[in-house]
Amino acid sequence: MHSHSDSPRHTWWREAKRLHAKRVTAPQLSAPRSISCNKPVKHADDANHQFGFVRVWKPRVVNLQELISTQDYLPSRKEDHSSSSNSSSHNCSPSDDNYLRWRLGIALQPPSELLLRASGPMDWPHSFFIYQQEGIRALLNSPHLLMADEMGLGKTIMCAAALRILLHRQEIERALVVAPATLLDQWQRELHLWAPELRTIIISGLPYERALQWRYPTHVTLVSYETLRSDWNELDKHNPACITWGAVVLDEAQRIKNSDTDSAFICKKLMRSKSWALTGTPLENDMEDTCSILEFVTGSKISGSELRTTLQRYQLRRRKADVLQQLPPKISTDLLLPLTAAQRLTYDTAEKEGRIKLSAEREIRIESILALIARLKQICNFAPNGSSSKMKNLEERIAQIAASGEKALVFTQYTNTTNGAQRIAKCLQKFNPLVYTGTMDVIERTKTIDIFNRDNIHQVLVLSLLAGGQGLNLQRASYVFHYDLWWNPAILQQAEARTHRLGQKRPVHIYRYLMQNTIETRIADILQSKMDLFDRLVEGVSLDPQKLFTRKELLRIIGL
């Protein structure tokens, strides 16, 4: 590891001035190495300049004479629409130190093909698919990009990988990700997985806490649209309004489709070198939606007549059908959401009362524990007043799926009208859902499956897990939602196999809902630790909760 004073930031320009056939060190395309970060800066005032540079390759020798004498990489001011007008690459000529340093920096970077290899120097947790590599390269090479891939293709992963590479190359020093509040934890998890050495922070809490968090020197800052709007202050130098960001990423960028909103105005006013917008639905109502998003991306207003040509220049759009051969047969995603206020109040009350009742028992019975768990799981589905974070998120996702002409399966272990299949179907009425439960006779069940597979008007099939988890062929659907979790992971996998089976020609996307700070996350943690054992030993074997979990594990689930 090298100190700041010995980093390329301080050496490249000196070496570039001594061009007389001198030779310097540069990155070698070598075997992977472990990556570690410099210590955090001591003073937040220096946060914009001293985030540390990570060396992930050994030196090799290159000749700079030919590099510096070539001028075809000189940045064009016309091509740059970013809000950050102070970048050194904007005001340089071939005789400037900044230009020489910029040209040298470009040459000293290994090719992206090497960096994206699982066996390359960046040490990725998994291999990228070909279409993902193409998306990452597009982000690396495009200061202004609208990534409009269909939902489920991994836009978050591609963006996390691109940010990691840019930060390692020192092309940027810090980035801002603006996303819906419910997606911030997911972003942080993906960054920890795909860029573990980067420092990240979610801006949250009370106003005075957030004021301190904005000063914290991180590589990637995560904030919701609402919090960014609340914290906007152009008089505070540590405020997002006064920071020049190396990259600003808007996730679910349709949030700024209305150019008259405060969120849209503020996002477009952020000072930045790179502007990336991520959305699977860049156009929801009319062309003005897309024009507003493109105004953020390009830094200039876009008229309806310019829309098509602008999209051709700045939009990367891939459909599942376009990259089918490059996709895995099944893609699984956990959706970690907060409870609504009504759900949280009901949940906390029920959990507290349940613990008191259990503690009063002379000997805690397994049946009492399971009854409390069932009650808490049902609250995670719906509050007594009907509010539900899961349902709100599910409605939004089903709308996107239906708009693309796809179909979805929704599995739940409950069948009732309060928090089960019937309630879910009622909330999804506009998508003409069908219901499949064990209360139906054989003729009704067969008819329901035939109608779902045949008629395009029915875009959702809501199934009780035990009735619909086995023996059905539902390849017509390509999305599966686990609204709540069953005790046995093998049962969940069997349910997914209703559509992920021979004859399925599209990638299957699996979504599993988990509510933050509830028994659902505790159950998921335990199930994950048992998943490998299930695969090896008990695949397809029906287990009930009393046999699946030890007494100690059941008590852990309810926090005792």
3-state secondary structure 351-370: HHHHHHHHHHCCCCCHHHHH
Residue 313 or residue 404, greater confidence: 404
Written in H, E and C, the secondary structure of 201-234 is: EECCCCHHHHHHHHHCCCCEEEEEHHHHHHHCCC
Top pLDDT among 174 and 543 is at: 174
**Same-domain status, 83 and 216:** yes
Question: Are both 318 and 335 inside the same structural domain?
Answer: no
Q: Residue 178: which H helix or E strand, with range?
A: strand 175-179
Whose tokens are 């074997």? That residue is 541
Q: Using 50, 70 and 90 to split pLDDT, how confident is the model at 328?
A: low
Q: Pick from 205, 189, 194: which is nearest to 167 by CA?
A: 194
Domain count, the chain: 2
Do residues 321 and 341 share a domain?
no
3-state secondary structure 483-547: CCCCCCHHHHHHHHCCCCCCCCCCCEEEEEEEECCCHHHHHHHHHHHHHHHHHHHHCCCCCCHHH
Q: How far apart are CA 400 and CA 283, in angstroms?
A: 11
228 and 240 share one domain = yes
**Distance between CA atoms of 413 and 378, rounded to whole angstroms?**
10
* pLDDT tens-digit series, residues 360-382: 887 878 888 888 988 999 999 99
Contact in structure between 461 and 447 (CB atoms under 8 Å): no
CATH code (residue 363): 3.40.50.300
pTM value is 0.57
165-181 per-position pLDDT tens digit: 998 888 889 999 999 88
22 CB-side CA count, 13 A: 12
CATH at residue 265: 3.40.50.10810
pLDDT of residue 181: 83
d(CA 210, CA 443): 59
The yes-or-no verdict on residue 276 having pLDDT over 60 is yes
Residue where a domain terminates, one of 326, 360, 379: 326
pLDDT band at residue 532 under the 50/70/90 scheme: low
Tokens of 327: 């996709």
CA distances from 66 to 19, 23, 43, 71 (A): 10, 11, 40, 10
**For residue 98, what pLDDT is reported?**
63
Residue 16's domain spans which residues?
Answer: 4-326
* Residue that finishes a domain, picked among 291, 326, 361: 326
State whether 314 and 371 are in the same domain: no
CB of 388 closer than 8 Å to CB of 426: no
pLDDT at residue 67 is higher than 50: no
What rounded mean pLDDT belongs to the chain? Answer: 75
What pLDDT is recorded for position 524? 83
Residue 336: beta bridge partners? 514
Question: Which pairing describes strands 144-147 and 315-316: parallel, antiparallel, or unpaired?
Answer: parallel
Q: What is the pLDDT of residue 125?
A: 87
Q: Catalogue the E-assigned strands of 252-358.
A: 271-278, 315-316, 330-337
**Residues 251 and 335 both lie in one domain:** no
* Lowest model confidence (mean pLDDT) among 46-60, 115-129, 519-533: 46-60
**The pairing of beta strand 460-464 with beta strand 175-179:** unpaired
Average pLDDT over residues 310-332: 73
Residue 270 and residue 278 in contact, taking contact as beta carbons nearer than 8 Å: no
